[in-house]
Structure 1
Amino acid sequence: MTDQSHYLEITATGVLSLIEDAGRQQCAHIGLTTGGVMDRHAWAWGNRLVGNRWGAAAVEITIGGLKGRFTQATQIALTGSDLKARLNGQAIAPWQTQSVKPGDLLETGYAVSGMRAYLCIRGGWKTPKGLGESRSCILREQLGGLDGQGSALKIGDRLAYQPTQAEHRCALTAVPNQFIPDYSPPVPLDFYSNPHSQVSADITQSLLNSNWALSSNSNRMAALLEGPKLETAACALISEGVAAGTVQLPPSGQPIILLNERQSIGGYPKPGFVTLRSLDQLAQVRPGQTVQLRAISLEQAQQQEAAFLRFFR
């Protein structure tokens, strides 16, 4: 059991800081969304740097501005968007393991590129588990988080962790450069067609041939794309289960890419799917920046995901 005297006390929350893990699995049948980290690539590498197994909870920091003080020694890693973080006023590098001592103050600045960073700690953050054995915070459904009600972190919150001596370091202390993404736009998103698509091949080709800007109305539920209007024939569709990465084409003709906090069913036409690996890249796109869909096969998408899971799990 974690000693409650070992914690990070939050002194500033920034734009939005959430406790997230791999998500709430096997709950869609009761209408609950999965949630979980938006950028699995950055989150998984962060946990690898501090010796955590797959699934450990991290703090997902959107844009930046988080500050907090540690009460006991441990190791941390910040991955994803570079927030120009400082420890006791001294700059620390992202994508590396960092030892902290009792009383150390962590301060994050604001992202120059990208949208989200992950604060991982050795042993994971020890917040309460809820449905699906998940700690993930979902604001809309009021689930998870430190209070169990889906609340974002607030000033005065205390995030418990298991202390570890500074000399107990992991073998890997920095992510190799080739695995650190470039978040500069335009961002390519791998897309594979829906074999049961309700839209024409011409519309799907227009989707692939166009540049799309991320709407400022996007959130953890869906990425809304803005660009040329894609006309679809009006038809009544039966709602069915939807997965992360599903591309929907509503009557507006502006595509929607469903994300972690998507609804459990949907009835708009679905020309295809953005791969799970590309959703990591999409999580770092800022409103107004450009994305481009590029066609791959279902087999290629499956191979991408299998390789990712083999490496991290």
Structure 2
Amino acid sequence: MSFTGVRVLKGGVLTLVEDAGRWGVSHLGLTQGGVMDRHAWAWGNRLLDNPWGTAALEITLGGLQLEFLQSTWCALTGADMQAQVDGLPQGNWQSFYVQAGSRLELGFARTGMRAYLAVAGGWQTPVGLGGSRSSVQREMLGGQDGLGSALQAGDLLPLQGIAAHTLHRRAVPDDWLPDYSLPLTLGVIEGYQAEQLGAAFRKAFYQTDWRLTAASSRMASLFEPDDELPELLRQATSPLVSEALVAGSIQLLPSGLPVVVMAERQTLGGYPKIGAVCPMDLDQLAQQVPGSCICFKPVDPMDAGRREKAFLQFFRSG
């Protein structure tokens, strides 16, 4: 019996199967994982009437090439990678129909870092621990092979059969389109340790312009000062008793440099934390290229909570 689905011709720089993450496993020391940019991922699925949690391909930097052995509807969101189907350009942040036998080719990101390719019904890769399809390479979980591997040439990705007439071309409204080229300020929900760090330390931290380093990954975003690190931030910080880390936690290394933990964060950490980046701002951070200038500012936790609640209600309501 011949395979129907998608064949990978080129895996690109880094392409992973990702969904909303692997919940309920932190007590085992396993990361939550999942998509880095929920905003782009959620819109891709919404354009195709896929429910919240549906797996998509997270394409970092670009270079992915696929051959469709089965017709289906697709949606591409996030970083602009100049997608083409059989040589014909396809717009970003919209859905499009791909005929069996066609090839989808992505270039390399002109803006942003990560694009998301969703298909109608979702990628039908194995469901693993925590009821998730998400790939975590270091833990060898999820993905198309169940071992967290990035896509490689020759891989086969199963699809869910869907009739062409069940969907139509859609695009994300302009008001929802992010501009990844704009300077980014990350909102910080301060935690209980912020007061212990002192007002002077917090002021110095927020007044410093930071740059994202090339060492950043799906595990954490690392920063260095745009100029000289203020002397106050150089003060050695004493390790604390390890405690649970939420996505966006801002850990302060003994060097004074901040680290923002991301989707594949470790479950525990003992470095002092000034607080956590607002969940929706993490989506923007996931699209920043190394060298981007980034600032932090404290925000009202209630305002951040309302934004997050509105986001989840919108995308989970279907």
TM-score of the superposed pair, with normalisation by structure 2: 0.95
Identity between Structure 1 and Structure 2 (%): 48
Partners in 1 of 2:281 and 2:287 — Cα distance? 10
Partners in 2 of 1:225 and 1:218 — Cα distance? 8
Contact kept? 2:235, 2:255, Cα under 8 Å: no
User: What letter matches 1:291 in structure 2?
Assistant: I
State the Cα RMSD in Å.
1.4
The equivalences for 1:121-140 within 5 A come to: 121-140=119-138
Structure (1 or 2) with the greater helix fraction: 2
For 1:94, the equivalent position in structure 2 comes to 92
User: What letter matches 1:305 in structure 2?
Assistant: E
Choose which of 216, 240, 243 in structure 1 pairs with 2:243. Answer: 240
For 1:303, the equivalent position in structure 2 comes to 306
Query: How far is the alpha carbon of 1:298 from its aligned partner?
Result: 1.0
> Matched residue of 1:262: which SS?
coil
Choose which of 277, 280, 289 in structure 1 pairs with 2:280. Answer: 277
The equivalences for 1:233-272 within 5 A come to: 233-272=236-275
> Matched residue of 1:307: which SS?
helix
Quick check: 1:207 aligned with 2:210? no
Moved more, 78-87 or 161-170: 161-170
User: What letter matches 2:283 in structure 1?
Assistant: D
Distance verdict in 2 for CA 1:185–1:226, change over 3 Å: farther
Moved more, 60-69 or 177-186: 177-186
For 1:216, the equivalent position in structure 2 comes to 214
Moved more, 190-199 or 65-74: 190-199
Instruction: Please give the per-residue CA displacement for 1:241-266, whole angstroms capped at 9, x wherever unaligned.
Output: 01000001010111000101111000
Contact kept? 1:199, 1:232, Cα under 8 Å: no
Instruction: Please give the per-residue CA displacement for 1:279-309, whole angstroms capped at 9, x wherever unaligned.
Output: 0000000011111112211111111110100
Partners in 1 of 2:174 and 2:214 — Cα distance? 31
Partners in 1 of 2:167 and 2:125 — Cα distance? 23
Choose which of 81, 84, 109 in structure 1 pairs with 2:82. Answer: 84
Distance verdict in 2 for CA 1:116–1:169, change over 3 Å: same
> Matched residue of 2:302: which SS?
helix
For 2:175, the equivalent position in structure 1 comes to 178
For 2:32, the equivalent position in structure 1 comes to 34
User: What letter matches 1:257 in structure 2?
Assistant: V
Query: How far is the alpha carbon of 1:83 from its aligned partner?
Result: 0.4
Gaps of 5+ in 1: none
User: What letter matches 2:186 in structure 1?
Assistant: L
For 1:43, the equivalent position in structure 2 comes to 41
User: What letter matches 1:114 in structure 2?
Assistant: G
Query: How far is the alpha carbon of 1:71 from its aligned partner?
Result: 1.1
Distance verdict in 2 for CA 1:160–1:195, change over 3 Å: same
Query: How far is the alpha carbon of 1:236 from its aligned partner?
Result: 4.0
Contact kept? 2:237, 2:272, Cα under 8 Å: no
Q: How many residues align?
A: 310
For 2:6, the equivalent position in structure 1 comes to 8
Query: How far is the alpha carbon of 1:36 from its aligned partner?
Result: 0.3
TM-score of the superposed pair, with normalisation by structure 1: 0.96
Gaps of 5+ in 2: none
Contact kept? 1:19, 1:58, Cα under 8 Å: yes
Query: How far is the alpha carbon of 1:271 from its aligned partner?
Result: 0.7
Contact kept? 2:10, 2:153, Cα under 8 Å: yes
Quick check: 1:195 aligned with 2:192? yes
Instruction: Please give the per-residue CA displacement for 1:31-80, whole angstroms capped at 9, x wherever unaligned.
Output: 00000000000000000011100000000000100001111111000000
Partners in 2 of 1:301 and 1:111 — Cα distance? 30
Partners in 2 of 1:236 and 1:78 — Cα distance? 43
Distance verdict in 2 for CA 1:62–1:309, change over 3 Å: same
Partners in 1 of 2:239 and 2:121 — Cα distance? 49
Contact kept? 1:242, 1:265, Cα under 8 Å: yes
Query: How far is the alpha carbon of 1:135 from its aligned partner?
Result: 0.3
Contact kept? 2:67, 2:101, Cα under 8 Å: yes
Partners in 1 of 2:47 and 2:245 — Cα distance? 33
User: Which runs of at least 4 in structure 1 moved beyond 2 Å after TM superposition?
Assistant: 3-6, 195-198, 231-236
